[in-house]
Amino acid sequence: MRIVSTASAFPPHYYSQEMLLAALQEYWGDQVQNPQVLRRLHKHVGVDGRFLSLPKEEYRKMKTWGEANGHWIRTAKDLGEKAISGALAGAGLHGRNLGAFFFVSVTGISSPSIDALLINKMGLCRSIRRTPIFGLGCVAGAVAISRAADYVRAYPDQTAVVLSVELCSLTLQREDVSMANLISAGLFGDGAAAVIVAGAECGFSEGPKILATRSVFYPDTEEMMGWDVSEKGFRIVLSREIPNLVRANLAHDLDDFLAERALTRADIGNWALHTGGPKILEATAEALGLKNGELDVSWQCLRRTGNLSSASVLVVLEEVMKNRRPAPGTLGLLAAMGPGFCAEFVLLEW
């Protein structure tokens, strides 16, 4: 099993963090009692700029969740098509070659789901197996790669596509000036990413092999991250305890996963980790003893596009594959964490 291609896609509207801060100060007005709090939060999230689905002035015009979700559907189709087309071109494949389609998102809903809409739009195979996944949040990109690996393990002569589309800006809540929403408004951006996973009998010799995967669930932590869903849409749930959960659990869970393959963290030469934000990346580095720039790609992607929820780890993977490919034989780890609370590990060999 191999990851043979990756591609990202972004909306045309890119704004610096300063421009977005000014727009949010106008958006919330007197609701934020201390404007310096918002400025301080934006300064410390480690983001230089972000892509938005719409021109920034359009967000003030939206009145309902249905309107925002309509924008989500239209933009998700456009970005999804671009990302998949880029990944297919990178693998030298046509859409009719795909045997399975794993679609993940947590920032909008559609029925039929976006994968079905793209099958029609792109003329994909009528017998393609569809698996739309909602609710896994930031961990979903890594989870979808694991599920795609399960599929091509069962069908080694087939390929699967993973698509993540996250349009976080369309979840912005005007009446919510909680600390969680102020942070998310400064941290999260919009974008999409696609990955092609191929079975062992497909004849590909390039791209990292998927050696093993592991899912980890942390009981009774559902209050850590997610959405409160109401008639106004998605209201962010984001606990300040997440970094402590990472410090307390990530290392021994990863060590158990690696030990089953007679490996340790010292054997991992490449790290593709979700860009959760400065506190999450710092907690991850502390927990895993990563002190020599191992997370530089994650930090770079965070600065460039912000946290893209489930698409983040796929964008990090793309950067590694296209610009920082390790030496052949290097072991790598792709990992993310998300609502549940849970973690996903994917062991790679480059």
**Residue 48: other Cβ atoms inside 10 A:** 12
Q: Closest Cα to residue 182, out of 14, 17, 21? A: 21
SS (H, E, C) 189-207: CEEEEEEEEECCCCCCCCC
Q: Find the catalytic residue in 125, 138, 202, 342.
A: 138
> CA-to-CA distance for 330 and 32, rounded, in angstroms?
49
> CA-to-CA distance for 150 and 163, rounded, in angstroms?
16
Residue pair 204/158 in contact (Cβ under 8 Å)? The answer is no
Q: Is the dihedral of CA 290, 313, 262, 340 positive or negative?
A: positive
Q: Is the dihedral of CA 177, 178, 182, 184 positive or negative?
A: negative
Structure tokens at 335: 């990992």
In Å, the largest CA–CA distance within the chain is: 61
Dihedral of the alpha carbons of 135, 75, 22, 64, in degrees to the nearest 10: -70
138 is known as an active-site residue: yes
Residue 272's φ and ψ, nearest 5 degrees, are -120, 95
What are the C-alpha distances in Å from 303 to residues 60, 179, 240, 312, 346? 26, 21, 21, 12, 24
**Catalytic residue numbers?**
138
